[in-house]
Amino acid sequence: MRKLLPALLVAGVVMSPALGRAQEPAAPAGQIVGDAPGEAPDATRGTEQAVAEGHGGEAGGEHATPHYPLKKPAELSWTFAGPFGHWDLGQLQRGLKVYKEVCSNCHSMNLVSFRNFSALGYSDEQVRALAAEYQITDPAPNAQGEMFQRAGIPSDRLPSPYPNPEAAAAALGGAHPPDLSLIAKARSVERGFPRFLLDIFPWSQYAEGGPDYIHALLTGYEQAPANVTIQPGTYYNPHFISGPALAMAPPLSDGQVTYDDGAPATMEQYSRDVSAFLMWTAEPHLVERKATGFVVMIFLIGFAIMLYLVKRRVWADTPH
């Protein structure tokens, strides 16, 4: 009996899956095996296939799901890229001009102070003159206990075009424009495997995903394809990271901003300049950080060589 019991247990384990399958009811006529009961087999596959074929969707088995952005941004050449990158002050000044004349009509930059612009090559007098162009609500009330406005000073932060996010959403059809202080670090498109593995090497150090994405978004508006339906009041942009369309209308056009240094007044130039400027506002100490890291790497390499030589000297007379 003791020898027969293990054999019965093994036979039960082997036979139980087959018995279970034999007891399952047969699929009703016309139903495709694998679909949920009552589901129309081809109810949504046509739409998903159209999205997959024409708008960047990736097929996963029988179904296709669009992955945003539909078009990945091109990797551009920036002066601040790589381990020896540096800021182009002329480009940053042009980017500030584009922000002031175009972007600041809707977007705030609450984490940037006027005095920070001295790093862009402006003198103290120029920074004070720039701040005085804005009317700032003083954080402290006057002697009568009332809030009042005054001319800006270098320690003030750039004012928002709207008093609060709710007012901004109400004025812009329900869409609240994001603050641009850190947008170049907050928005980026993944490079995917295996390219992101190369970013750790010193000769790459790819950190320009934010500017690449901003440039692609500003210049990537297109006419919506016939098989894509977008919501009223939105604009088709295959580079948008959250969907096929966004509420922001195309903000830039040729000849919109006049540069003082004679740079081309084109949408491409505007986009590059403001993208570089937003990278600076998001990480103003980028160049200093890279310089410090380069010095640290040299020190660590020299320190490792010194330790190796000391080890050889200390253990030279010890038999191994």
Q: Which pLDDT does position 91 carry in this prediction?
A: 97
Nearest in space to 248 (alpha carbons), one of 110, 107, 108, 69? 107
Contacts of 173 (CB under 8 A, 6+ apart): 233, 247
Note whether 146 and 167 are same-domain residues: no
φ/ψ of 246, rounded to 5, equals -135, 165
Q: Which pLDDT does position 12 carry in this prediction?
A: 52
Q: What residues make up the domain containing 298?
A: 73-110+162-310
Does 231 fall in a domain? yes
Q: Which pLDDT does position 2 carry in this prediction?
A: 52
Q: Which pLDDT does position 63 carry in this prediction?
A: 56
Local structure of 243: helix, strand or coil: coil
Q: Which pLDDT does position 31 carry in this prediction?
A: 38
Note whether 170 and 52 are same-domain residues: no
Note whether 212 and 131 are same-domain residues: no
Does 2 fall in a domain? no
Note whether 80 and 136 are same-domain residues: no
Note whether 168 and 297 are same-domain residues: yes
Query: Mind listing the pLDDT tens digit of every residue in the chain (320 residues)?
Result: 455 444 544 455 444 444 444 444 444 433 333 333 333 333 333 334 444 444 544 444 445 688 899 999 999 999 999 888 999 999 999 999 999 999 999 999 999 999 999 999 999 999 999 999 999 998 888 888 888 999 999 999 999 999 998 999 999 888 889 999 999 999 988 887 887 787 777 677 788 999 999 999 999 999 999 988 899 989 999 999 999 999 999 999 999 999 999 999 999 999 999 999 999 999 999 999 989 988 999 999 999 999 999 999 998 888 76
**Domain count for the chain:** 3
φ/ψ of 212, rounded to 5, equals -60, -45
Q: Give start and end residues of each alpha helix (H) in the chain.
A: 4-23, 45-54, 89-101, 124-132, 165-171, 183-186, 209-219, 267-282, 286-314
Contact criterion met (CB below 8 Å) for 106 and 247: no
Note whether 59 and 85 are same-domain residues: no
Nearest in space to 150 (alpha carbons), one of 137, 133, 159, 163? 137
What's the predicted TM-score (pTM) here? 0.76
CA distance 13 to 8: 9
Amino acid at 112: V
Q: Is 27 left (phi over 0), alpha (psi -120 to 50) or beta?
A: beta
Does 175 fall in a domain? yes
Note whether 299 and 230 are same-domain residues: yes
What is the number of alpha carbons within 13 Å of residue 163 lying toward its C-beta? 4
Question: Residue 280, exposed/middle/buried by CB under 10 A (0-12, 13-18, 19+)?
Answer: buried
Does 284 fall in a domain? yes
Note whether 235 and 126 are same-domain residues: no
Q: Which residues are annotated as a binding site?
A: 103, 106-107, 248
Does 102 fall in a domain? yes
Note whether 182 and 253 are same-domain residues: yes
Nearest in space to 217 (alpha carbons), one of 22, 318, 71, 81? 71
Q: Which pLDDT does position 66 carry in this prediction?
A: 82
Does 19 fall in a domain? no
Q: Other C-beta atoms within 10 Å of 180: how many?
A: 25
Among 156, 188, 220, residue at a domain's last position: 156
φ/ψ of 288, rounded to 5, equals -65, -40
Note whether 57 and 172 are same-domain residues: no
Note whether 217 and 267 are same-domain residues: yes
Local structure of 60: helix, strand or coil: strand
Does 10 fall in a domain? no
Does 7 fall in a domain? no
Per-position b or e across 133-158, b if 16+ CB within 10 A of its CB: ebebeeeeeeeeeeeeeeebebebbb
Q: Which residues are annotated as a binding site for heme c?
A: 103, 106-107, 248
CATH number, domain containing residue 269: 1.10.760.10
- For residue 65, give the H/E element and its range: strand 63-65
Contacts of 240 (CB under 8 A, 6+ apart): 68, 69, 217, 246
Q: Which pLDDT does position 41 carry in this prediction?
A: 38
